[in-house]
Chain A
Amino acid sequence: MKKILAALLAAAMTLSLAACGGGNGGQSNTPPAGGSGTPSPAPAPSGDKASLNVIAAQYGDLTKDWWAKFESDFNSSHDNIDLKVEVVSWNDIYTVVNTRISNNAAPDILNIDVFADYQADDLLRPIKDFVSDETYAKFYPAFLEQSNIDGTIWAIPDLASARAMYYNADILEAAGAEVPTTWAELKTACEKIKAYDANIYPWGVDMTTDEGQACFAYYSWTNGGDFMDASGNWTLNSAENVEAVEYIVGLVKAGLTNSDPATETRYDLQELFAAGKLAMMIGPNQITSYVEGKDNPINFGIASIPANEGKSTSSVGVMDRFMVFDKEDTDDKVDAIKEFFDCFYEDKVYSDWVIMENFLPATSTGGEIMAAADPAAASWIEIVGSAKFYPTAQAKWADVKQGVIDVEQQALLGGNVKELLDGLQAKIAG
């Protein structure tokens, strides 16, 4: 179903892009660019083209081709704009971007996860100035709020993903275990699975430099804890957080998890899960299609992340963004950027992209299209709507992220969780 939809959308995309640039906005769903500017009827090619440099993150192996097509379609329908999209893999994107910024060679538009650091250095422009009202109105307001610093929105979400618990239904059944909803049930289920087959890892844990902060969030948020309190103070060493880290480190030490959480990333876990060697893990919505894409897919189910007794569950949302760098923009450039976003967030183009990347949409219109096409996506869109996000708007987030990963790894090596978190709290808040 999804594949057919994707193919149809891909075909539609070229058409929409062409329409989007031609100025005859009436034919497509998108009115011409410029809620603020004048609707420009196919601007005459002046000698000066507005050049637009975009760095985009590589989400998958189709990303590059998709952007290449977008780029050529966009350029052929916009005589006055010279768009160049550079796709960089996630492994390297920080290196590339930071090197460029240090040398005043920032791109015009950047697609990445973080933004607070750039904002702190006054490198960004308020995003609302660069997005037409029409497009701006499409975003889920809660998502926009994630990029709010001091009352200004600095970035727009490009896509989102949410996390839930995946379990191998066959293994659970064979081991006589129920799908766990609480931490205690989770531990019991793990023990049953281990007793059933010692070669299967009951529970997947990733405490690596890659994504150890997610591990912290999974257990802290389902124990009533958080990185910071409602008034914006860091609460890293709260009793809830200490209990959360102790719980998960306890599971590792009891031998109920994969063998090496400090070096096994979520991708390793995903492979193990799909091969039937790992019974349960917390992961993003992409795992579904990944597992289903196999020749002999395992029989799996999805459930909420188990919470501690008496606490409520919580999903972890992850969101990436577009931001615009401050570069003495001329009006032409501003219009070009608006045009770019209008074309990108054009519903057909945007849904095509989100479906291709296998993420969740950040716009309500995109969400409607996807939900209508795929009931499974609908439930995920609901999950992401209620998910909690990392405090990425905090300038200290990078330190906090590295700090909690270090705490987890120290705890694995035998450190005292309370002391470690006290130390981190003192370092961050002090």
Chain B
Amino acid sequence: MSTKTPAAPADRQVQTASPRLPNPGSRKFFRTIEPYIWIAPSIILMAIFIVTPIFKVFQLSMNKVTRAGKLKGFNNFENFTTVIKDPSFALVLKNTILWTVAVVVLSTLLGFILALFLNNEFKGRKVARAIVVFPWATTLVIQASAWKFIVNTDYGTLNTLLMRMGIISAPMNWTSTPAAWFGWEIACGIFVTIPFVCFCVLSGLQSIDASYYEAATVDGAGYFQKLFKITLPLVKSSLTVSTVLNIIYVFNSFPIIWTMTKGDPANRTDTLVTYLYKLAFYNGKQGEASAVSVIGFIILLMCASVYMIYTLRKGDEDL
């Protein structure tokens, strides 16, 4: 959507505003602090309700923490070394990356395509759009329970349906291996993430002026040319935001895996969040759990900054 560098509109705004100022001195001071007043409520809200708890996590990760959650002093990063030394940690990390990449990439791709379809005028579009919202409007715990229920070998509705339709004759074990379980979890993750991407893209698509396409058509551009030359650049800003946030949300996603497998068997389907949840609330190791979350935070921070610097800078050059 953004086709201008961020600074430009602001500059102009400032120029037009200045001639009408009665007292340039105090006005100037006000103008300097004005933006901070505008962002203050948001900062206060986040500082109290997110930043303070984050400090608590760092504090816990550096301390020896008893099983019942009491702090017993700085312990020389022992929580971190214990966690990293655990052989299952590498496996969990690998799972987390696989989970995040698979869910984000596929849901972004599918969500984008779906948005292109839903952006067309057609009969029943309103209904179709409402249906697409369903997976998003369902609590993840319930959604995951439903999926677990559906793929169950013995009383799952998928087996029953396929058997009634005559496609299979005996119940299939859809989850015979840990990898199969993980596959289902990823599928469920994609399923619930598509609506989010789809509506982010749709809101971007809505704001594209039809005259661009008309002009391009007159110039003899084909569908894919228009897609790559007009649509993509124009929805890029909203797509970037949704992708960055998606990476974070999916990386930290908890209910799907927890409900379906609790990371079993033997950490084969664990991600960092389910792993640290078990550490914190099943094993009473809040110090180590906090260390895991700090490690996860650092990984996310690196990925997200690389991605954002890359796309934002590239975006600026293009414009």
Chain A positions within 8 Å of B, measured between CB atoms, are 94-95, 98-99, 101-102, 117-118, 120-121, 123, 199, 207-210, 258-260, 262-263, 268, 271-272, 275, 277, 395, 398-399, 402, 406, 409-410, 412-413
Contact = CB atoms under 8 A, between A and B. Distances in A.
Given A123-B68, A199-B170, A398 B282 contact: yes
Contacts of B266: 262, 406, 409-410, 412-413
A258 B152 CA distance: 12
B278 interface: yes
Contacts of B278: 209, 402
Contacts of A95: 281
Interface residues of B, number: 31
A375 to B, nearest CB: 34
Contacts of A399: 283
Contacts of A398: 67, 282-284
A207 B178 CA distance: 14
Given A260-B176, A277-B154, A98 B265 contact: no
B106 interface: no
Contact of B68 (A118, A207, A260, A413): A118
A98 B284 contact: yes
A260 B175 contact: yes
B281 to A, nearest CB: 5
Interface string B53-71: 0000000000000111110
Q: Which of A102, A120, A275 has the most chain B CB atoms inside 10 A of its CB?
A: A102
Interface string B232-272: 00000000000000000000000000001111111110000
Given A101-B68, A402-B278, A260 B283 contact: no
Contact of B154 (A99, A120, A272): A272
B61 to A, nearest CB: 14
Nearest to A100: B69
A259 B262 contact: no
Q: Which of B170, B176, B178, B286 has the most chain A CB atoms inside 10 A of its CB?
A: B178
Contact of B282 (A208, A209, A413): A209
B268 A413 contact: yes
10 contacts: A101-B70, A102-B69, A102-B70, A118-B68, A121-B66, A121-B67, A121-B70, A209-B262, A262-B264, A410-B265
Contact of A260 (B153, B263, B268, B280): B153
A117 B262 contact: no
A263 B261 contact: yes
Contacts of A120: 66-68
A27 to B, nearest CB: 42
Contact of A94 (B176, B262, B281): B281
Nearest to B88: A406
Given A94-B282, A260-B153, A409 B265 contact: yes
B265 A275 contact: no
A259 B263 contact: no
Nearest to B280: A98
Contacts of B191: none
List of 8 A-B pairs having minimum Cβ-Cβ separation, nearest first: A102-B69, A262-B265, A409-B265, A117-B67, A409-B266, A121-B68, A209-B262, A94-B281
Contacts of B30: none
B181 interface: yes
A121 B65 CA distance: 10
A209 B67 contact: no
Given A121-B68, A207-B265, A259-B176, 14 more contacts: A98-B280, A101-B69, A121-B70, A208-B262, A209-B263, A210-B262, A259-B173, A262-B264, A263-B175, A263-B181, A263-B261, A268-B154, A398-B282, A410-B266
B297 interface: no
Contacts of B66: 117, 120-121
